[in-house]
Every structure is written in structure tokens, then in C-alpha cells.
Structure 1
Amino acid sequence: MNWVGIKVDLVHIAYERHFQVQPEKLIDVRHIESLLNNYSFRHPHLLLEALTHRSCMLPQIPGCYERLEFLGDAVLDYVITFYLYNKYRAMSSPGFLTDMRSASVNNDCYALSAVKAGLHKHILASDNVDNDIANTVNNFGRLSIESTFGWEIETYFSEVLADIIESLAGAIFVDSEYDKDIVFQSICPLLEPLVTPETMPLNHLREFKDYCKKMQYIMKRPVISTQNGVVTRTIEVEAKGVVIYKHTSTVSNNRTAEIVACIFFLRSLKETNLE
């Protein structure tokens, strides 16, 4: 930025938080560090903050993980983008690189990674949040653990689990005095195996939209309703004014409902040979 004439003075802001409790009394600091590629926290209070949900705010803890999550989200997006850019130098299509990043940087991917590492056992949260996490863990038990890619998932995962991966990245970033490489080295093992061109799952949403555009189908505005925390989403596809496909999915959130509806549409194409 200095080269293009924008004067910037980067100042490392020292970490200062005042906790009235030793982190070791509430969380297993050493074990969690072992999960983070043996990263050793200079300020273990950052780790405590990164694992504290706002539903479990204690007088001794001045903050929850949300600020660290905000920071970690941006840092992870950057380090994984940089990793993919450098590793696949021969890949000229930015669209494919974008898809690879999206398959690696998403809430489902992070939630899977958190459960695989057992991080859900260390989150400080209320009973309601714990129950939501428990449902995720139960769902996880019925899924393959061979990858952490999120696009193929047709079930709901607690956002808290995804937040924790990001807040831990933020905590390491601050604790290491803003070293992006250390963040990647510490968080990357949780995300392995990282996506490759050979293993990247299909983006069902893009495939659905691209197919409709190609065939000049009209996607009607989806009908969405929510009741008792459950989302019902109905999609309709028209060809020359005639509805050729209609599907209603009922799941735990709107994004998952959208994915499920698109998956069923694509399956229907193969089964009925609409292509």
C-alpha cells in the first residue's frame, strides 16, 4: 500500500484483557492446545474467551467469543485463499478456485472439523446451546468422517461449532502477534483433508441454477415458512409456462432447505431423464 502511495503504519496492538479466573479452572488448556497442532498460548485467557458462548457469560469472563470469531473468519478466509492460490498455480480458472475455497471455508466444514476434533466438549454454553450441539454430534455420527467438505451435507449443524473454529483462529492470530502462518499451521490439521480438484464435491446450488439457465427454465420465487424453528421451503421450476418440477423440503434452517431442494431436483433429472 505504501508502494501505491497509501501511507500505512501497522501497529501491533498488545492484548489486554482482565479476567478474574485462571483459564485452567474452566477449560483443559493443554489438551486443547494439543488439538491445535500443539500451539502454546502466551495468553490462555484468549483461549478461554474463544470457547465462551454468550449464553454462558460469567462475571469472571469479560467477553464471549464473538469478537474473536469476527476476526478469525477474515483470517481463515485469507490464509486458505492464499494456500489454494499457491498450491494450484497451474489452475487458470478463478471460478474453480472460488469453488474450492467455498468447499473449504463454510460453516458445515468448520462444524464437522470441530466435532471430529472433539472441540464441542470444551465449549462453555447454556443448556439450550449444549442441546443444539448434541443434536449436531448425533447427526455427525450418521455421516462419513472421511472429509470435512460442507456442500454434500443435507442436515443442519449448529453454527456455534463453526463459530468456534473461527474464534480459535482469531485467538491464535492475536496471541501470536498477528502471524497468519501460525494460524494456518494450527488450524489446518483440524480441516484436513483439505479439498483438492479431485475430491471437490459439486456445488448443488450452482449446478441447479446453471442447469435452469441453460435450459431456459424459470425458477419461481421460493415459498418459505418457519414454524417452531423448522423451515419449510417449496421450489417450482417452469418450462414454457408449465410447472415441470415442484419440491417441498422441511429441515432446520433455510440454507439447508435450499440445498436439499436443489439436490432432489438434480436427482429427479437423472431418474426421469428430463435432460
Structure 2
Amino acid sequence: MQLTKAQKVKYIQFLESIHIEYQNEDLFIQAFTHSSYVNEHRIRPHDDNERLEFLGDAVLELAISQYLFKNYENMSEGEMTKLRAAIVCEPSLAKIADELNFGDHVLLGKGEEMTGGRKRPALLADVFESFVGALYLDVGMDAVYKFLEEYVYPQIADGAFSHMMDYKSQLQELIQREGQGNIQYKIVQEKGPAHCREFVSEVWLETNQLGKGTGKSKKEAEQMAAQKALEKLSDED
């Protein structure tokens, strides 16, 4: 795809700003090329980002699946599936792409530009997947892991996607519905080195401990404690 030298420099500077060590910048430019731009400029149909999006979707699912498998040993297959779906869904990917200013760099046709395509969640999510596909093709799976370790994995550990499986809310609703009292969370232990901390949380109903959980963040530990509490209360019914 033919861009001016100034346009290419813009993409090179962008890749460097998000710490991407690339070999072929043209592959990343393709990842940001929407079909509307290709149609208006009468260039080859396959120069848009749709094929890269197809590949990036599969690469992203694998990378997220591996992260969940390695870091959430107590999570069942069903829970991992649900959390992965919450991470790779359109709203989540669009939010991450927006945080990285991906929309500012998309090559759009005039019509798509005029209708606000640069901020459209579906378009941003597609560009994010295309970018991951380009990263995989250009420098390999380790580069994908490195990128996700900087921009996505920390959000998972902080519980940014757990609204899809929010055990704390479920527990709160159950306790309120039955009028049993107030619940409280306590971080009772922190262990491990600074770069790999593990937190232990307990959830109490008045003077009765309902559950105990561990996690890579305080939020995750509390979620796991709430999950154990829900399991306990379900067994007692």
C-alpha cells in the first residue's frame, strides 16, 4: 500500500510509542486500513484489515486462554470460558483500543469518517484484533504475549472484566434478600515478591466467616472469597 513518507513516519512513531518492536511496518498499516478506505482508493481488496482480523481473533483467544489457564488454577472450565468471553467481546476490545488511541490511526473512507467510524466500537474492536494478527505475523507469539502483558493482562488481574462474573454482587444480593446482616471483606495475607504478589481475602457475615479466596490482586481475592461463600451457602440450602 502506497502512503507518503510522512504518513509512514506517523505509524512508525505510533508503534514506538506503544513499545512495539516491529520488522514490517506495512503489515501494521494494513491492520489499520478499513475496507472503506480500500474501496475509495481502488486498491487491492485484500489490502484492508479483514484477513488480519480473522487471524488476530484466533491468536487473541489462544493468548487469553493460556493466561487464564496458568494464572487461575482454581477456576473451572466454564468460568474461564465466561471470563475469556468478557475479555474478547466487542465492548472490552473497543475500550482497550480507545485507551491506546487506535482510532486516531485508522485509514477510513470519507463516508465512514463522516459517520463517526473512528469511534465506533465494532470498528475499534476489529482493528484491535487486526493489530494482534499483524503483531503475530511480523514478530511472533512472544511479541503478542509481551504486548498483552503490558496492556491487557494487568486489567484482567485487577478485575476489569469480572463484571461478567461478579460474585461479590451476587453474594451481596443474596444476603440482602434474606436479611441476614452485613458482609465485610478482609485482606488477611499478602505474600510473594513485589512483581508477583498474591493476596488472601476472607469474607465475613457479622461474626461468621463465609469464604476465603486468593488472587493476584485484592479485587480478585475478594471475588474468589465471594465465590467460595456462594458455594458454601448453596450447599447449606
- Fold conserved between structures, TM > 0.5: yes
Q: Give the Cα separation in 2 of the matches to 1:87 and 1:110.
A: 21
Q: What code does the residue aligned with 2:23 have?
A: R
1:202 and 2:164 matched: yes
Larger helix share, 1 or 2 = 2
Aligned length: 162
Q: Give the Cα separation in 1 of the matches to 2:34 and 2:9.
A: 13
Q: Give the Cα separation in 2 of the matches to 1:96 and 1:39.
A: 32
- 2:29 alignment counterpart: 48
Q: Give the Cα separation in 2 of the matches to 1:32 and 1:170.
A: 17
User: Structure 1 vs Structure 2: percent identity of aligned residues?
Assistant: 26
1:87 and 2:71 matched: yes
Mind listing any 5+ residue stretches in structure 1 that lack a counterpart?
Answer: 1-18, 137-156, 205-275
Mind listing any 5+ residue stretches in structure 2 that lack a counterpart?
Answer: 167-237
Q: Give the Cα separation in 2 of the matches to 1:92 and 1:107.
A: 23
Cα deviation digits, residues 187-213 of structure 1 (max 9, x gap): 443335422485511359xxxxxxxxx
Within the candidate set 180, 185, 193, 2:146 is matched to 185
Q: Give the Cα separation in 1 of the matches to 2:126 and 2:10.
A: 19
Q: Give the Cα separation in 2 of the matches to 1:186 and 1:47.
A: 14
- 1:72 alignment counterpart: 56
Distance 1:128 1:192, change over 3 A: farther
Secondary structure of residue in 2 paired with 1:195: helix
Within the candidate set 81, 89, 111, 1:106 is matched to 89
Secondary structure of residue in 1 paired with 2:156: coil
Secondary structure of residue in 2 paired with 1:194: helix
Question: RMSD across aligned C-alpha pairs, in angstroms?
Answer: 2.7
Within the candidate set 136, 139, 159, 1:173 is matched to 136
Structure-1-length-normalised TM-score: 0.52
Cα deviation digits, residues 45-82 of structure 1 (max 9, x gap): 10110000010013567600001110000000000100
Within the candidate set 80, 93, 105, 1:97 is matched to 80
- 2:11 alignment counterpart: 29
Q: How many angstroms does 1:181 deviate by?
A: 2.0
Q: What code does the residue aligned with 1:73 have?
A: D
Higher RCO (CA-CA < 8 Å; seq separation 6+): 1
Structure-2-length-normalised TM-score: 0.60
Name the stretch that deviates more: 46-55 or 58-67: 58-67
